Amino acid sequence: MRTKRALPFVVLIVLLMPIIPINSADSVSPSGDLILRNGPWHVGDEIEFSILVHNSDSDSITTFLNIEINGEVSNGSSIIIDSGNSMELISSFVAQDSGVFEVNWTVFDANGTTEIFSGTSEVIISEQQSLFAEIYSLSYDYDDGYSINWGANLSEGKSRLISSKIYFVTTEEIILATEMEMSLESGLRTSNTDIGIAPKGTYKVELILQPIEWNPLNFAFDEENIESEISDLSLEIVSGPSPQFPTLGDTVIIDLRFRNNGPLDTGSGKLIAVDGQKRLLAEINVPAINSNSDKQIELKINEWMSNSLTTLEIIWIMDEYVTKTNLEVVSSNTEVNDDSNFSINWMGLILGIVIALLIIFSVRIISVKNQTENTETKTYSDRNKKVEEKVETEKITVDCPSCPKQLQVPVGYSGQVKCPSCLAQFSAKDKSEIDSKNKNLDLEDEELFASSDTDIVECPKCDQVLRVPYEKRPAKARCPACKCIFNAIAD
């Protein structure tokens, strides 16, 4: 009876088994080993890890690849793998250090908590590669412009893709002359590149090598100064003119030297000759002249057109560059004027005389006026001088003490005086000084008094307080301060 009751439950379990999910880890497996792409690798490179995963489960599953190197972790994108399919899981890792490192990789399900399967591998990372740029030489052609010979040097390692850019640098801007991409193997690679005519104001060329999708250890750059404009041209006269004194209609020959001391070659140009009246006498072509070289050319004037001294201007024209030199030429025949054509302009002559007379009269009037002013100024100055002399010579009379003679001495004079009569010498003093001394003597001769009802009395001259016993008064007392002697009396 018990067996019959259990039978339905067993049948139910058997029927439900196909729809009960099993562990997905048992149904997902790698279809190969972990693959490392884009090697060999250097510091700064991106390492791509890849593994093929097969889903043998009846349901789809979402997974991703996890990479761990030296403590650094990188997770790849989540990938949905349908039932019965295989998909590639990819994860990228940027190399930070050089050396041999163990790679720990794991395939997780979508929630990142369940490890489906894992493994280990090994990667070798080399030192970061260096890239160097160098300009070896610059050459110039007048028609084609500049060409540059340069080199790119890549250190040991894998081949790299770079972009080379060459610029003209002017005083106002940087202009890209040429750009190209190239693949470099480790080592030196040289190239010769035409960069054309340099813009006006260019003073240097720059070479920059830029890495494409990789990171070098250094910045690859070089530069070279250049001359963008033709300079230091000169035009010299070697000999001539021949004949030395040409006449009208003569053929004149002049030998010239064209010199280019600049760094650039010149193009072809023209040479023209004009006389003092700006008449074109000759025009010839001038060939190109290389840098630091010269050429001698003969200038031929088929018909001389001057009959007097003239300045011959010789001009070398090449594009916008102009170089000149001058030559003074004296013709052998001079045109003579006919005396019969000589005439006098009487009206102009008379007008000139009148103007001259007016100028003379004007100058004369101004001169007399200045002379009068000078005379008045001199008279006034003389008067002032006499007054000053009078003031300066004012004197007083003093008596000679040895004889009745009276002498004249300047006012305010104090000093020795010699009498011209008796030859006696005596001292003459300023009257004001004598009066002051006499006044002081009078004050000294005047008797002073001071009184009080105590033993203390004040000096009548300086108010100094001193003690004079009351019982001894009247008495003479001397002030200790001003030395004045006065009579101390009792009140």
- For 10, 57, 111, 358, the CA distances from 15, given in Å and listed in that order, are 9, 19, 31, 149
What tokens were used for 63? 């997974």
What does the radius of gyration of the chain's CA atoms come to, in whole angstroms?
A: 62
Are 101 and 69 a contacting pair, CB within 8 Å? yes
Are 45 and 95 a contacting pair, CB within 8 Å? yes
Burial of 306 (0-12, 13-18, 19+ CB in 10 A): buried
C-alpha–C-alpha distance, residues 425 and 371, integer Å: 53
Mean pLDDT of 161-186: 92
Q: What is the pTM of this model?
A: 0.48
pLDDT of 10: 33
Domains along the chain with CATH numbers: 20-126 (2.60.40.10), 131-225 (2.60.40.10), 233-329 (2.60.40.10), 398-443 (no CATH), 447-490 (no CATH)
Beta strands in 319-428 (DSSP E): 321-329, 395-399, 406-410, 415-418, 425-428
pLDDT of 165: 95
pLDDT of 483: 81
Are 35 and 50 a contacting pair, CB within 8 Å? yes
Phi, psi of 316 (to 5 degrees): -100, 120
Q: What SS3 class is residue 340?
A: helix
Would you say how long the chain is, in residues? 491
Phi, psi of 308 (to 5 degrees): -150, -170
Q: How confident is the model at residue 482 (pLDDT cuts 50, 70, 90)?
A: confident
423-461 tens-digit pLDDT: 777 776 655 555 555 555 555 556 788 888 888 888 888
Instruction: Say which amino acid occupies 122.
Output: E
Are 331 and 310 a contacting pair, CB within 8 Å? yes
115-147 tens-digit pLDDT: 888 899 999 999 999 999 999 998 888 778 889
257-309 tens-digit pLDDT: 999 887 778 888 889 999 888 888 899 999 988 888 898 999 999 989 888 88
Q: How confident is the model at residue 47 (pLDDT cuts 50, 70, 90)?
A: very high
Answer yes or no: is pLDDT of 210 > 90: yes
